Structure 1
Amino acid sequence: MPRSSGGSVKELCWPGTATYEQSCEAYKHKGNASGHYYIDVDGSGPIKPQLIYCNMTEDTAWMVIQHNNTELTRVHSSPERSQHSAHFDYASEEEQLTAVISQSQHCEQELSYYCRKSRLLNTPEGAPFSWWVGGLDPGQIQTYWGGAQPGSRQCVCGLQDTCLDPDHYCNCDADYDQWANDSGLLTHKESLPVRSLVLGDIQRPGSEAAYRVGPLRCHGDKNFWNAAFFDTEKSYLHFPTFHGELNADISFLFKTTSSSGVFLENLGIKDFIRIELSSSSEVVFSFDVGNGPLEVRVETSVPLNDNRWHSVRAERNVKEALLRVDEFPAATQEAPADGHIHLQLNSQLFIGGTASRQKGFLGCIRSLQLNGITLDLEERAKITPGVQPGCPGHCSSYGPLCQNQGRCVEKTNGFSCDCGQSAYTGAFCHKEVSASFKSTVSITYMLKEPYEVSRNSSVWPSSIYSDMTLRGENISLSFRTHQSPALLLYVNSFYREYVALLINKHDELELRYKLHSGRDVEVLGSRVMNLADGRLHTVTIRRLADTVSVQIDQNAREDFNLTSDVEFNNIKSLILGRVQ
């Protein structure tokens, strides 16, 4: 095929380099907490970035897309109209919505209906009074409700066989003259988002209804975690020829313990494109479009074969080529002024290996995108010898994100931070949920008194408290102190009963129960020592009647029995720190 020279082709602009991450998942794995972020769902592709709220929980990074009415909306009966309709306009554009739903592992949206003499789906046999429209624009009419399955014409109570009237599949279809509701989550991605809603049984006298359509919530970035593990240097994956004649934008993450190997290669008759790890601290992007081989190199100041995730981005257009590794300065290489510009390839695209018999890659490659398209490494790996789908060992890279003694826990796709041994919570154990006490300071939580006691505190008949008696409790707390003795927790009642948890002068834990005002306190002493050592300790106490168990940290559980009484009557207050 004849080649074109630079002077005969219209000058092209540099393809847009992605400035923003493609999902909340990606932002979370850079250590970001909950907040609004620009999401560029297709990287350097044509879809515009969108501002989305990311809710970073302990286990999940949710993308939350709002629409024009997420509030509970009341609908009053009116003989003049037979239906109430609502249309929902989303903050994201259509192609953005479609891309978010497509690349997410899970999406959901609340759909709730509150009713009083207002039927919903008219189950089991009648024509539906209400329906909603969802799915790709313009959407399809749906006649199932939140929590049920598509096509079922049911609400969640019908699915669970818990409806108010067993002859119907929705609570509201019972047509009771009292408030009921049918609520649940829509989770079938092909039916999302909810675009409009029509409510039909609202014209009868006495009919009342309200509805709520929540924001669209999605989590799990299928592109971000799509990975393959190459366990031999001769193994590889192959895909159809890469078509990047004028523009090539390639990005991926890798981790390895090897000092060299080819990440990617595609050949033509003479042309080629290749990205490789040439040494433990250098990545090379090389290609030939007919002007002779060109190379762009990035040498890093840290080793890249440390079995941690590293990012690579290689781009080429008619003017120049660029290579970036992690956050190190990018390297560029200008194209010849009057040379050839078309990259003409015809072989298969090799991932993790090479057709030219160079050393293959040993390790993991993840989130491989070529010109905005993610290659499904996992599916191809399932049918390829020497390559395994997915890649374990994320804590080696992301473990440092877990702060304040939080423990990194491996997951199939990613990690989570276990904050159980920390005085913090949040996605990265970064939100403090503790209080620091001086020796003279305490915090008291007053519990509401029963009305009868407030009115006449001199009369305390036991019948007043019969429904407030505790025959057991579960208590769990964490503490750190150098002081002993020290009071940790004190709970008392209007009957002068109490439970106290403290560290005695020997730095050991004591649990004191006084469940009868006329009897002596019972002291349960733990054998675990040195609890005033300034380290974080966790105590879990469980009582059921006269049986009490205490566990401190990972020590063996200690069991005790009470002898005086088993009822803790009418709790008055809970105190942390010194008793006033």
Structure 2
Amino acid sequence: MICLLLTLLLAAQSVSQDSSSTGCKGSIINQYFGSDQHLIQHSVVPSGREAPGPPGKRGPIGHMGTIGPKGDPGVKGQKGEPVLASTILELKRAINRLENSVNAIVPATCKHVALSPGSYPILPLGLDGTPFYAYCEESPTGVRKTLIGHDSETEIAADNCEAPRCYRRKVTYDVSMEDIVRLIDASQQCRQFIQFRCRGSLLHQRKDVYGAWLSRNGTLKLNWGGTKKDYYCACGETGTCIDNTHKCNCDQNGPIDTSDEGYLTNKEDLPVTEMHFGDMADSSEFGWHTLGKLECW
């Protein structure tokens, strides 16, 4: 404290004196002069020592320390509650309600149409795709069916030709095959009626196939309506053909009018895309074919 007082006294009297005469070890004096208040800094340094220079440059960054040990694992969380069967059932009901809401806008099939018979827009397999029109009707047993029409529903006389399957009728449907397949996939059952009315014209002669049809994939099918057996018709399945030595009525190849008909029921094959016939070159040989709408429910 005495050192500081002596130093201030010397500065006030403007006396130039070595700081050693005060016996002080070095100090800093701050003085203000005039109205501009400039700061004047005087350094008093111990005798025999030079004033310190400016600070040196900052040294380089030191090396990174070693990584610390891994912390302890956290506490394991509690196991979640199991989903109750009642919750799953409620979710299924919610999904059904949502599907019913969609069907209320555009029904998937005629099964969801509670109106009089007629043509209605349907959208099989949910919202994927564009709605198309189909004919809806209810059977006497209360089954609501979806029907797809085509250009070969009325009876058509086949052209006269002799070779097996020389006459071919390609079937054109009212909607695309893609939409038909979607309808079939969305239905539990599908079927299609097929008939060949004949006079002196046969369907099979031993293993020679004069009459046949093509599946939607273009596969040649050798069974006729009412059976799934190759080279058979419905009467051959039930043993009721007019000549039981044959498996189809028309195979008796006589001068009388007869027919073979029935439903094709294999969903994977439907719908029929072509019908083939032959053995009609003679003036006494005739054949007529009919193909019903595709029915699904």
Scaled by the length of structure 1, the TM-score of the pair is: 0.32
1:120 corresponds to: 203
2:223 corresponds to: 144
Q: Does 1:21 align with 2:107?
A: yes
The alpha-carbon deviation at position 207 of structure 1 amounts to 0.5
The answer as to whether partners of 2:213 and 2:276 remain within 8 angstroms in 1 is: yes
The answer as to whether partners of 1:69 and 1:213 remain within 8 angstroms in 2 is: yes
1:134 corresponds to: 215
Select 2:132's aligned residue among 43, 47, 50: 50
1:62 corresponds to: 145
Tell me the alpha carbon deviations over residues 210-243 of structure 1, each in whole angstroms, 9 at most, x when there is no partner: 0101110111xxxxxxxxxxxxxxxxxxxxxxxx
Structure-1 separation of matches of 2:264 and 2:192: 5
Q: Percent identity?
A: 27
Q: Can you give the 5+ residue segments of structure 1 that lack an aligned partner in the other structure? A: 1-15, 220-580
1:205 corresponds to: 283
Count of residue correspondences: 195
The answer as to whether partners of 2:103 and 2:112 remain within 8 angstroms in 1 is: no
Structure 1 counterpart SS, 2:279 = coil
Tell me the alpha carbon deviations over residues 334-385 of structure 1, each in whole angstroms, 9 at most, x when there is no partner: xxxxxxxxxxxxxxxxxxxxxxxxxxxxxxxxxxxxxxxxxxxxxxxxxxxx
Structure-2 separation of matches of 1:148 and 1:17: 35
Change over 3 Å in CA distance of 1:27–1:159 after alignment to 2:
same
Change over 3 Å in CA distance of 1:24–1:82 after alignment to 2:
closer
Select 1:157's aligned residue among 235, 247, 271: 235
Change over 3 Å in CA distance of 1:78–1:143 after alignment to 2:
closer
The alpha-carbon deviation at position 81 of structure 1 amounts to 10
2:168 corresponds to: 85
The alpha-carbon deviation at position 39 of structure 1 amounts to 0.3
The 5 Å alignment of 1:379-390 reads none
Structure-2 separation of matches of 1:22 and 1:79: 45
Structure 2 counterpart SS, 1:168 = coil
Change over 3 Å in CA distance of 1:20–1:184 after alignment to 2:
same
The alpha-carbon deviation at position 171 of structure 1 amounts to 0.5
Tell me the alpha carbon deviations over residues 32-55 of structure 1, each in whole angstroms, 9 at most, x when there is no partner: 22221100112211x211101100
The alpha-carbon deviation at position 80 of structure 1 amounts to 10
The answer as to whether partners of 1:121 and 1:143 remain within 8 angstroms in 2 is: no
1:176 corresponds to: 254
The answer as to whether partners of 2:164 and 2:208 remain within 8 angstroms in 1 is: no
2:268 corresponds to: 190
Structure-1 separation of matches of 2:163 and 2:248: 26
The 5 Å alignment of 1:420-499 reads none
The answer as to whether partners of 1:111 and 1:212 remain within 8 angstroms in 2 is: yes
Moved segments of 4+, more than 2 Å: 16-19, 75-82
Q: Does 1:109 align with 2:192?
A: yes
Q: Can you give the 5+ residue segments of structure 2 that lack an aligned partner in the other structure? A: 1-101
The alpha-carbon deviation at position 205 of structure 1 amounts to 3.2
Structure-2 separation of matches of 1:111 and 1:33: 27
Structure 1 counterpart SS, 2:172 = coil
Scaled by the length of structure 2, the TM-score of the pair is: 0.62
The alpha-carbon deviation at position 77 of structure 1 amounts to 3.0
The alpha-carbon deviation at position 152 of structure 1 amounts to 2.8
The answer as to whether partners of 2:153 and 2:290 remain within 8 angstroms in 1 is: yes
The answer as to whether partners of 2:158 and 2:286 remain within 8 angstroms in 1 is: yes
2:178 corresponds to: 95
Select 1:166's aligned residue among 244, 263, 275: 244
The answer as to whether partners of 2:106 and 2:123 remain within 8 angstroms in 1 is: yes
Moved more, 18-27 or 36-45: 18-27
Amino acid at match of 2:251: D
Change over 3 Å in CA distance of 1:76–1:44 after alignment to 2:
closer
